[in-house]
Amino acid sequence: MTQSPIPKILELATPVAEDLGLELVGAVFQTNQRPPVLRVDIRNPDGDTSLDNCEAMSRALEAALDASEVIPDAYVLEISSPGLSDTLTSDRDFVAFKGFSVTVTTTEPYKGHTQWNGQLVRRDDTSVQLSCKGRIVSVPRESIVEVRLD
């Protein structure tokens, strides 16, 4: 069995994306297609991911991949945006979904619960604040595993 080229692709693609002001979200190499398809997902941290962002990443990454020979045979490169995730991770996500219903999951019980459901109030450096039945609950960030839209 041959080793997956994904770790090397990610290592190569991350600085390419950063140079373009983009974030690399992930990559999938579909070898069951002929030719194989390399799909790379990017995000523009400053706004919506545009077609121009995808095109710039495609050109820059294709040149880097061809020079490195990480993928020695013919392949199809697809660059796209992952779309809306139901997991909140960035500051932008927490601002955009303020007031939305979320579930906060913690590693250990906080005030007797490992899951909190409520309306997202805000996130700061120390906590995520929810309105739970009219009461504000501040869940410490260091114990949070995930914040997901309901």
What is the reported pLDDT for 118?
A: 95
Domain housing 143: 91-149
Prediction pTM value: 0.57
Q: Which residue has the higher pLDDT, 45 or 1?
A: 45
Question: Per the structure, how many domains does the chain have?
Answer: 2
Picking from 21-25, 47-51, 52-56, 75-79, which range would have the lowest pLDDT averaged per residue? 47-51
State mean pLDDT over 108-112: 91
For residue 10, being part of any structural domain is answered with: yes
Higher-pLDDT residue of 26 and 123 is: 123
Residue-by-residue DSSP string for 104-143: EEEEEEETTEEEEEEEEEEE-SSEEEEEETTEEEEEEGGG
CA distances from 138 to 7, 89, 102, 110 (A): 37, 17, 13, 10
Q: How far is CA 31 from the centre of its chain?
A: 23
Quick one: 76 and 97 in the same domain? no
Query: What does the chain come to in residues?
Result: 150
For residue 2, name the pLDDT band (cuts at 50, 70, 90): low
Distance CA 87, CA 149 (A): 6
What CATH number does the domain containing 106 carry? 2.30.30.100
